[in-house]
Structure 1
Amino acid sequence: MANPRSPFLAIIWSLSAALLMSILPLPDALQAWRPEWVMLVLIFWVMHAPSWVGLWFALVMGLLLDAFLASPLGLHALALVLVIYVTRMTQRWSGVFSVRQTTALVFLLILLERSLTYAVLSVRGEVPTDLSYFLPAAASALIWPTVLLSLRRWTQR
């Protein structure tokens, strides 16, 4: 019986790439459509390697994202931890869901994350001006099948 290979390097590599894609500059017209890369990659790893990635990983990645994006400390960390908690609760379903169903689930999870950050920013008095604040949820749902297929090969034994 072959030993299962460890996804540790793939997790570190993919999360580093997600952090990089989250901070790369985009033209102003595309800025509102930037997918939530870190959230997508964390959701994938929680669904496919739950013993490796969990709430502590989400907390650390959220704090790194806060530092890189110069957002209030804990803003993304809180949202990532709460969404990853919900993802862990729905992790059993993802094994039987089709790609369309997991795409819908990812859309709802990222919409939850955007709603949480919207609520926190509203409490701070920094309310985003329009509903384009929620466009990354749609962009992330559109890019999810690509993320799923490109990272899935690292989980196959």
Structure 2
Amino acid sequence: MIMPRGQQLLMPVRPAFIAFSVALVFLLSLLPLGGFVWMPDLLMLVLMFWAMHHPHRMPMSVAFLLGLGVDVQQTALLGQHALTYVLVVYFSQRFSRRMMWFSPLTQALQLLPVFAAAHVLQMLIRMLAGGMFPGFSIALAPVLEMVLWPLVSAILLAPQRRAPDADSNRPL
């Protein structure tokens, strides 16, 4: 694949870094932060990022298991987050080749409907199980995730932007 003009050539990602970043965000998602409905789902962002940038290294089974873990921790309907994470990873993998041509800001704008659909799906599952409507503040979560997407992209791509060797003769 020909790289877009001006895009930096990245080093290969280490599988240990993918596992570390997913595990760290999973542990952060287990913290009791008050259960605000407007909080962005950082685990979904990181799963989506790795599924988009390295589809072969982020299987749907990992998203399913992490979703079950979040369901158990949040005492949500079992499978609510698992289904959402699997669908988000599927769509990220499906459109990964097209999305890599865009900048993180443009990607964030194009991912806003996916973020919104994920939260609407979780809300519908909750309401079908007898839960109450969480209010319109739930619409803030996809917007916050869209705003966080370029920051998450910059943080997770930082280790791949390192130089292989510190050498003044090789600019890559």
Give your verdict on TM over 0.5.
yes
TM-score w.r.t. the length of structure 2 is 0.79
TM-score w.r.t. the length of structure 1 is 0.86
Q: Find 1:98's aligned residue among 94, 100, 103.
A: 103
Q: Find 2:133's aligned residue among 124, 128, 142.
A: 128
Q: Find 1:45's aligned residue among 50, 68, 80.
A: 50
Task: Give the letter for the 2:157 counterpart.
Answer: R
Task: Give the letter for the 1:118 counterpart.
Answer: M
Q: Give the 4+ runs in structure 1 shifted more than 6 A.
A: none
State how far apart, in whole Å, the 2-side matches of 1:74 and 1:27 are.
21
Q: CA deviation digits over 1:7-36, x for unaligned, max 9?
A: 3211121112212222324368xx344211
Q: Residues 58 and 81 of structure 1 are in contact (CA less than 8 Å); yes or no, is this contact kept in structure 2? A: yes
- Consecutive unaligned residues of structure 2, counting only runs of 5 or more, are 1-10, 165-172
State how far apart, in whole Å, the 2-side matches of 1:63 and 1:26 are.
19
State how far apart, in whole Å, the 2-side matches of 1:32 and 1:122 are.
14
Tell me which residue corresponds to 1:89.
Answer: 94
Equivalent pairs: percent with the same residue?
A: 28
Shift in Å, 1:107:
2.0
Tell me which residue corresponds to 1:68.
Answer: 73
Shift in Å, 1:149:
0.3
Shift in Å, 1:155:
4.1
State how far apart, in whole Å, the 1-side matches of 2:74 and 2:42 are.
13
Tell me which residue corresponds to 2:148.
Answer: 143
Shift in Å, 1:135:
1.7
State how far apart, in whole Å, the 2-side matches of 1:129 and 1:27 are.
14
State how far apart, in whole Å, the 1-side matches of 2:71 and 2:123 are.
15
Tell me which residue corresponds to 1:15.
Answer: 22
Shift in Å, 1:106:
2.8
Aligned-residue CA RMSD in angstroms? 2.0
State how far apart, in whole Å, the 2-side matches of 1:6 and 1:142 are.
24
- Consecutive unaligned residues of structure 1, counting only runs of 5 or more, are none
Q: Residues 77 and 126 of structure 2 are in contact (CA less than 8 Å); yes or no, is this contact kept in structure 1? A: no
> Based on CA coordinates, which of the two structures has the bigger radius of gyration?
2
Q: Residues 35 and 136 of structure 1 are in contact (CA less than 8 Å); yes or no, is this contact kept in structure 2? A: yes
State how far apart, in whole Å, the 2-side matches of 1:27 and 1:76 are.
18
Tell me which residue corresponds to 1:109.
Answer: 114
Task: Give the letter for the 1:51 counterpart.
Answer: H
In the alignment of these two chains, the number of paired residues is: 152
Structure number with higher helix proportion? 1
